[in-house]
Amino acid sequence: MSRRSSQQDEQQIDLTPMLDVVFIMLIFFIVTATFIKLPGAEVIRPPATSAETLKPSMLVAIDADSSIWINREQIDPKFLRTQIAAIYADNPKGALVIQADEESRVEQIALVADAAKEVGVELVQISAQED
């Protein structure tokens, strides 16, 4: 009778199937993730007595000069609806959050909110700082 050598008794673990599963999971999470694009303007938000913490998917900033910022670019109010429509097309289930500076004009906030509603955004919120 021949006896197996000690080298044959050792079994090797094949990690290839495990690595395949890990890479597939990584690709799944990258594809399904939503990325938030920063508006690009420094904003001092007004304080609020009651506020909820939410995860926004679309951000629009209005700075102290009442300039509108989306994706680190200053937007002309004439093209606001088009820009919001482009963002909304990327994530149609997301909420739009307006980050308005304390010194910004209310007219600009209303302009952004109206443009978002015209495009079809269902949830428009204004960001505030906890008091």
110 contacts: CB under 8 Å, gap ≥ 6: none
60 domain residue, yes or no: yes
pLDDT for the residue numbered 24: 93
pTM score: 0.59
70 domain residue, yes or no: yes
119 domain residue, yes or no: yes
User: For the chain, what is the mean pLDDT?
Assistant: 79
Q: Return the ∠ at Cα 18 (arms to 13 and 24), rounded to 5°.
A: 165
**Residue 23 is encoded by which pair of tokens?**
């890479």
26 domain residue, yes or no: no
**Residue 1 is encoded by which pair of tokens?**
């009778």
Structural domain that includes position 68: 47-130
89 domain residue, yes or no: yes
CA dihedral 82, 84, 87, 91 (to 10 degrees): -120
CATH number at residue 74: 3.30.420.270
Query: pLDDT tens, 45-64?
Result: 666 555 566 566 788 888 88
DSSP annotation of 84 = H
28 domain residue, yes or no: no
Q: Among 6-20, 48-62, 96-110, which is the least confidently predicted range?
A: 48-62
pLDDT at 109 over 70: yes
Report the number of distinct structural domains present in the chain: 1
75 contacts: CB under 8 Å, gap ≥ 6: 68, 69, 83
